[in-house]
Structure 1
Amino acid sequence: MTMASYRRDRHPLLVHLPFGLVMALVAVAASRIWLYHWRQGAALIGGALLVAAVLRVVLSDEQAGLLAIRSRGVDMLSYAGLGALILFVALTISGGPFG
């Protein structure tokens, strides 16, 4: 099986599955923020970005779909850095549902 026939045989929506997973996590986070649990929502957004970083590392450019914006290294560092920063801020601010 050649690479061109492999791409034609794949379902076109499977390419968007990793991005859909990350966006589903962000939707859950948005609902938590909407319900005034902003720290939990922010932590979920940070987690979603960390999931995006892991998916970007383990999937090829074609499989990553909309998660592939720049080179793999730049994408991974951007997603992981921003996710870790958001998670750090969400977990260290005093008060709220986490403490």
Structure 2
Amino acid sequence: MNDRSTAPGEDDLAQDLSGQPADASGPATIVAAPEEALARGRRSEVLSPWPLLAVLAVFAIGILLVVNWHWRRGSVLIGGAVVLAGGLRLILPPKWVGLLKVRNKAFDVALMAGLGVAIMVLGMAVPGVYVP
């Protein structure tokens, strides 16, 4: 212990963060940086961006179709992207699903599948408006 007066546990905390325990009875807490965790092969701590990027790519193609006056095809593709998100959430394991995981699996799948099908049905059901 130091000769200077510190709050209880303050000296222990400072020494724990440096990796050295204050004394033999105190716990040593070593926190690995994310880079060190990846170097050790523990990829489960890092969210996978690939499922979300795949969904966003399909969604972006649908938006491009809508902007180019193919709104019916674009809206069906946007709904398909949301259904794809629900399908990926259903079949992928938790460590691969990445940012598609919001709540529990049943809620995520039901919400994304229902919303995606609703968008697709509305895109097909709305009567066409043609500009001369």
TM-score range (shorter-chain normalised) is 0.7 to 0.9
Is residue 2:102 matched to residue 1:66? no
Question: Looking at CA atoms only, which structure, 1 or 2, has the larger radius of gyration?
Answer: 2
AA of the residue aligned to 2:125: T
Unaligned runs of 5+ in 1: none
SS of equivalent to 1:69: coil
Number of equivalenced pairs: 91
The 1-side partners of 2:42 and 2:81 are apart by: 28
Unaligned runs of 5+ in 2: 1-37
AA of the residue aligned to 2:90: V
Structure 1 residues 14-93: aligned runs within 5 Å: 15-93=48-126
Determine which structure has the larger helix proportion and give its number.
Answer: 1
Over residues 24-79 of structure 1, what are the superposed CA-to-partner deviations in whole Å (9 max), with x where a residue is unaligned?
00110111011011111110010001111110000122211010011000000010
CA drift at 1:94: 2.0
AA of the residue aligned to 1:7: R
Deviation beyond 6 Å, 4+ runs, structure 1: none
Q: Percent sequence identity over matched residues? A: 34
TM-score, structure 1 as length reference: 0.82
| Alignment RMSD | 2.3
Q: Is the 8 A contact 1:33 1:39 kept in 2?
A: yes
Q: What is residue 26 of structure 2 aligned with on the other side?
A: none
The 2-side partners of 1:6 and 1:83 are apart by: 36
Q: Is the 8 A contact 1:39 1:96 kept in 2?
A: no
Q: Is the 8 A contact 1:22 1:52 kept in 2?
A: yes
